[in-house]
Chains A and B, each alone.
With several copies, the nearest count.
Chain A
Amino acid sequence: MTFMAKPKFHHPQLQKNALGYTRRDYEGPVSTLCAGCGHDSISAAIIRAVYELDLPPHRIAKLSGIGCSSKTPTYFLGASHGFNSVHGRMPSVLTGANLANKDLIYLGISGDGDSASIGLGQFAHSVRRGVNMVYIVANNGVYGLTKGQFSATSDKGAKSKRGALNKDEAIDLVGMALQLGATFVGRSFSGDKDQLVPLIKAALNHKGAAFIDCLSPCVAFNNHDGSTKSFDYIREHNEALNSLDFITGRQEITVEYKPGTVETVTQHDGSRLRLRKIADDYDVHDRIAALSYMQQRAAHGEIVTGLLYVDPEPQDLHAHLNTIEQPLNSLGTHALVPGQTALDKINAAFR
């Protein structure tokens, strides 16, 4: 059960990537989460993904809300700037940061309470604006940090640790993201690194609103019988749609697969997503079909995971706003201040 272990790597820590960084350069201070918390596995997956993509850690900005999940950015990519903002509002802070400097990679980490309860509006609006980001919800169906209340992703009928039954309809963030126009939508499980790491890599290379709902059991408050977000429950109900290889523009494809079982999606930047399909008839480019497939399977109690939808030619908010190539935060007096001559004309117009 590797997913239960604290993020300890079996690989030698000091092997260097193309940039000359070791994996340690992508780590952060020791986590203060509970031993076995799913969130730590997500951190580990992020570290691996960024390391393997040869991204310089300081070119990533990590942003989060409040919650155990939102604490995790402290524990990975110690050389990146991070922002632990306020509860439910990471999306707006991330959007603003992105507006200021389009050249960094924006990684937003949130929880199910943070995104589906208090933050639902900001989640929805950041997605529909097409902010270029990777938005990961570490979804445990519970409020970890405040000690075990139901969150809005708790399934109807799920039982709390104290025995209460949830009566409200669950919010399915994947369904929402699909409806709201996210251009990359995936779901995964903190316990399944093989699926999660390439998904994060693909999302990091996606130039639009990429959303990943990552089931991430809370061992302290939501890992009991009757929970639908426990390790056991997820493993039993997980239905992987596809499995993914992420291939950067530089890499060559070596292994060959039988036709039909593999689909290659080429992204704008030349990187490729190679999908080994498990559910044959699933079309990863059909948003509407994806949504109804999700819902049908959910009605049968299945948790569909994998890459659910991708638009290889997304448009992001900067494209909508037609901003210049240069990051806005790098513009100085000369570029920004029109000066007295312009002001004279303006004054004249007011006479």
Chain B
Amino acid sequence: MLHKVNTQTKIQSINEFVIKFANVNGSGSASANALFAKTVLRMGVVATPRNIFPSNIQGLPTWYEVRVSEAGHLAARGDTCDLMVAMNPQTWEQDIRSIEPGGYLFYDNTRHVAADQFRNDITVIGVPLTQMSNDAYENPRQRQLFKNIIGLGALAALLGLDTKAIEDLFTEQFKGKEKLVAANVQALHMGFDWVKTHLDDPVHIKVKAANTVGDRIFVDGNTAASLGAVYGGATVCAWYPITPSSSLAEGFANYCAKLRVDKETDRNKFAIVQTEDELASIGMVIGAAWNGARAFTATSGPGISLMQEFIGLAYFAEIPAVIFDVQRAGPSTGMPTRTQQSDIMTCAYASHGDTKHVLLIPEDPYECFEFGALAFDLADRLQTPVFVMLDLEIGMNERLSKPFQWDDSRNLDRGKIMTEEDLEAGNKFGRYLDVDGDGIPFRTYPGTHPSKGAFFTRGTSKDSMARYSEEGKDYQENMERLLKKHDTARHLVPAAIEKRAEKPTRFGVIYYGSTSPAMDEACQLLAQSGIHVDLLRVRAFPFGDEVKAFIADHEKTFVLEQNREGQLRSLLINELEINPAILVKIVHFDGAPITVGFVTDVISHKISSLQGA
């Protein structure tokens, strides 16, 4: 039934809106929600979903927010939605509050809700989902599951979704289980028909088929990164479960099972160990990498903290090790299911003593794949730990992304390895000799040659021939070579990407990682209101010359990040010797993904106050 509650001008929109599903976790709503997003995509309209879920398994509130945008915007728009599918009584009040004026509320009116529980400025659509489901099904599990599908059917009718597309998705999902397909189709139409029968097109937000998706794929960053690890030639994965990184390791296991089992023998070209903790994970990675396999771990903040001692060892003993850090809100256990970019400093300077590490910072699933593979080449070339810095927002949400690409002529770059043949040929080998002037020495794999090339690896100081040494000179030379190596890394890591504003401007913005869609869209909005900023997306540490040049080119550069301290800004100041006065810190760190609204507001404010001054 439709409550007409003093409706204001209704929001009218085709293919540009935000819908939010408020659910209880563990209630089986997730798959119906995902169907919604996929259906929109199948209709050729960009849809970007975000899961907001608690750190618990069952019974607490979760939300699934979908931004539908024919214009192609992928970012979280702001704190509000246009249509709320309110299925969770626990959060009813806050859910109602978050609807835009003129927006819509969709709810299950099986249970009566008093009139004062609504708002006057929204359109309320009640559909008796539970009742329909209970009438149609006996089994409690079925009742629960099909209620969600009935709801989807109702939404399809209200928003003009292509039911054929949904039916196709059922067919793909339940391949071989035709009965299930039929049952789902039936439930879908139950909801659809109810709306068509009882309501008179109350929702003026619509999805219309379009052509903005193209060949893009819909995938989450953890899956993409795990595939990157497969293509990067990783054979050893040692990991310990932790939100939001577990699905990266689990994704690797899935892809390996598909792509890396030897056809003839049915045996595995990979080894995956779920370890007892993060110390063991990174220890195994280091052991495997020392022994010539490509190895990685995936973790999040607490794991990074636990790995500190070992990371220092890998730095000082010069062992390639790839670490995917899917960042979440810290410090400590923090908010395990919320997103943040707050491990930047911890990773860049990980471990006691003087260290400096290489970070790769992907913006989306495409780069998760690309950097995921690249990390292994870089680690081998540089013989040092390489961090790939994802965050929960990129890692655990599916989103549209360029399709993955691979150059089949590309070979794994194993870096400077001295082989048995090289040794046999009499090549001089000193494990820590800087033969090429780039700070990167040669290494041998254990077991290479019966009498040459063996060396002892240690976390203590040594001379260039890898002999234990407590000589100040040996120590200092080695430490300086490591700095040189870090400088070499500057030229190997992905360069920052610049986007110049249409009009010349004194203002630049530096941003990175999951901030990217919000920044891109905000930049357009700002330009529309006459505010122009040049953009630089940093993709790695150490920073290339282009970063310094960009900053030098602007009177003020805003550094936009999702942490409290402005950690990348600190890195920029410290490593590029920048005057802090010209780098303006902008931070968003409440654990929710940064929104277009936030970015637009804060930059326009900052600029107007700077211009006022």
Find out whether A and B make contact in their complex, taking CB atoms under 8 A apart as touching.
yes
Q: Quick one: closest B residue to A32, CB to CB? A: B56
The contact of A322 among B243, B268, B284, B459, by CB within 8 Å, is B268
The contact of A118 among B246, B277, B407, B412, by CB within 8 Å, is B277
Instruction: Report B466 CB to chain A, min CB distance, Å.
Output: 10
* Per-residue interface assignment for chain A, residues 308 to 337, with 1 indicating a CB less than 8 Å from any chain B CB and 0 otherwise: 000000000110011111001111110111
Beta-carbon contacts under 8 Å, B401-416 to A: 403-408, 410-412
- CB-based contact A100/B293 at 8 Å: yes
Instruction: Report B215 CB to chain A, min CB distance, Å.
Output: 8
Any A CB within 8 A of the CB of B260: yes
- CB-based contact A333/B411 at 8 Å: yes
Instruction: Report A169 CB to chain B, min CB distance, Å.
Output: 13
Task: Give chain B residues whose Cβ lies under 8 Å from the Cβ of A35.
Answer: 58-59
**Stretch binding the partner chain, chosen from B192-200, B226-234, B472-480, B563-571:** B226-234
How far is it, in angstroms, between the C-alpha of A78 and the C-alpha of B467 when the chains are bound?
Answer: 12
- CB-based contact A347/B217 at 8 Å: yes
Task: Give chain B residues whose Cβ lies under 8 Å from the Cβ of A141.
Answer: none
**Stretch binding the partner chain, chosen from B341-349, B384-392, B440-448, B551-559:** B440-448
At the interface, is chain B mostly helix, strand, loop or mixed?
loop
The contact of B279 among A32, A92, A337, A339, by CB within 8 Å, is A92
Given that A323-B268, A333-B233, A347-B217 are contacting pairs, would A101 and B292 also be in contact in the complex, using a CB cutoff of 8 Å? yes
The contact of A336 among B60, B241, B260, by CB within 8 Å, is B260
- CB-based contact B57/A95 at 8 Å: no
The contact of A81 among B57, B313, B405, B447, by CB within 8 Å, is B447
Instruction: Report B374 CB to chain A, min CB distance, Å.
Output: 13
Given that A97-B446, A125-B276 are contacting pairs, would A86 and B459 also be in contact in the complex, using a CB cutoff of 8 Å? yes
- CB-based contact A96/B447 at 8 Å: no
Task: Give chain A residues whose Cβ lies under 8 Å from the Cβ of B215.
Answer: 347, 351
Any B CB within 8 A of the CB of A175: no
Any A CB within 8 A of the CB of B287: yes
- CB-based contact A56/B450 at 8 Å: yes
Q: Quick one: closest A residue to B236, CB to CB? A: A99
**Stretch binding the partner chain, chosen from A143-151, A278-286, A295-303:** A143-151
* Per-residue interface assignment for chain A, residues 59 to 92, with 1 indicating a CB less than 8 Å from any chain B CB and 0 otherwise: 1010100101001011000111111111111011
Task: Give chain B residues whose Cβ lies under 8 Å from the Cβ of A332.
Answer: 411-412
Task: Give chain A residues whose Cβ lies under 8 Å from the Cβ of B332.
Answer: 86
- CB-based contact B240/A118 at 8 Å: yes
* Per-residue interface assignment for chain B, residues 457 to 494, with 1 indicating a CB less than 8 Å from any chain A CB and 0 otherwise: 11110000000100000000000000000000000000
The contact of A328 among B219, B236, B454, B455, by CB within 8 Å, is B236
Given that A34-B26, A146-B246 are contacting pairs, would A324 and B447 also be in contact in the complex, using a CB cutoff of 8 Å? no
Instruction: Report A84 CB to chain B, min CB distance, Å.
Output: 4
Given that A89-B283, A331-B269 are contacting pairs, would A337 and B406 also be in contact in the complex, using a CB cutoff of 8 Å? yes
Q: Quick one: closest B residue to A102, CB to CB? A: B271
Any B CB within 8 A of the CB of A58: yes
Instruction: Report A11 CB to chain B, min CB distance, Å.
Output: 22
- CB-based contact A150/B274 at 8 Å: yes
- CB-based contact B26/A96 at 8 Å: no
Task: Give chain B residues whose Cβ lies under 8 Å from the Cβ of A82.
Answer: 454-457
Any B CB within 8 A of the CB of A18: no
Any A CB within 8 A of the CB of B295: yes
Any B CB within 8 A of the CB of A179: no
Beta-carbon contacts under 8 Å, B9-36 to A: 26
Given that A146-B242, A329-B293, A336-B235 are contacting pairs, would A118 and B454 also be in contact in the complex, using a CB cutoff of 8 Å? no
Given that A103-B447, A147-B57, A328-B270 are contacting pairs, would A84 and B454 also be in contact in the complex, using a CB cutoff of 8 Å? no
- CB-based contact A101/B240 at 8 Å: no
- CB-based contact B457/A89 at 8 Å: no
How far is it, in angstroms, between the C-alpha of A152 and the C-alpha of B285 when the chains are bound?
Answer: 20
The contact of B456 among A84, A87, A91, A93, by CB within 8 Å, is A84
- CB-based contact A329/B276 at 8 Å: no
How far is it, in angstroms, between the C-alpha of A235 and the C-alpha of B448 when the chains are bound?
Answer: 42
How far is it, in angstroms, between the C-alpha of A59 and the C-alpha of B446 when the chains are bound?
Answer: 8
Q: Quick one: closest B residue to A336, CB to CB? A: B233
The contact of B265 among A86, A324, A351, by CB within 8 Å, is A324
Given that A59-B447, A68-B57, A92-B280 are contacting pairs, would A323 and B267 also be in contact in the complex, using a CB cutoff of 8 Å? yes
Any B CB within 8 A of the CB of A120: yes
How far is it, in angstroms, between the C-alpha of A333 and the C-alpha of B411 when the chains are bound?
Answer: 6
Any B CB within 8 A of the CB of A121: yes
How far is it, in angstroms, between the C-alpha of A122 and the C-alpha of B279 when the chains are bound?
Answer: 9
How far is it, in angstroms, between the C-alpha of A138 and the C-alpha of B410 when the chains are bound?
Answer: 48
Q: Quick one: closest B residue to A21, CB to CB? A: B450
- CB-based contact B284/A99 at 8 Å: yes
Task: Give chain B residues whose Cβ lies under 8 Å from the Cβ of A262.
Answer: none
- CB-based contact A61/B446 at 8 Å: yes
How far is it, in angstroms, between the C-alpha of A144 and the C-alpha of B230 when the chains are bound?
Answer: 28
How far is it, in angstroms, between the C-alpha of A331 and the C-alpha of B260 when the chains are bound?
Answer: 11
Task: Give chain A residues whose Cβ lies under 8 Å from the Cβ of B54.
Answer: 32
Beta-carbon contacts under 8 Å, B23-75 to A: 26, 41, 54-60
Any A CB within 8 A of the CB of B362: no
- CB-based contact B447/A101 at 8 Å: yes
Any B CB within 8 A of the CB of A220: yes
Beta-carbon contacts under 8 Å, B314-365 to A: 332-333
Task: Give chain A residues whose Cβ lies under 8 Å from the Cβ of B218.
Answer: 350-351
Instruction: Report B44 CB to chain A, min CB distance, Å.
Output: 11
Q: Quick one: closest B residue to A219, CB to CB? A: B58
Any A CB within 8 A of the CB of B97: no
- CB-based contact A122/B283 at 8 Å: yes
Given that A92-B275, A117-B276 are contacting pairs, would A99 and B288 also be in contact in the complex, using a CB cutoff of 8 Å? yes
Q: Quick one: closest A residue to B312, CB to CB? A: A86
- CB-based contact B290/A97 at 8 Å: yes
Any A CB within 8 A of the CB of B309: yes
Besides the known contacts A92-B282, A101-B445, 13 further A-B residue pairs in the complex with CB atoms under 8 A apart = A79-B450, A84-B458, A96-B285, A97-B446, A100-B291, A149-B241, A321-B268, A333-B233, A336-B235, A339-B406, A339-B408, A340-B408, A346-B227
The 7 A-B pairs with the shortest beta carbon distances in the complex, nearest first, are A96-B287, A92-B283, A96-B284, A100-B293, A81-B446, A329-B292, A350-B217
Interface residues of B (CB under 8 A from A): 26, 41, 54-60, 215-219, 227, 230-231, 233, 235-236, 238, 240-243, 246, 259-260, 262, 265-293, 295, 302, 309-310, 313, 332-333, 403-408, 410-412, 444-451, 454-460, 468
5 A-B pairs within 8 Å (CB atoms) are namely: A96-B284, A99-B238, A121-B277, A220-B57, A351-B216
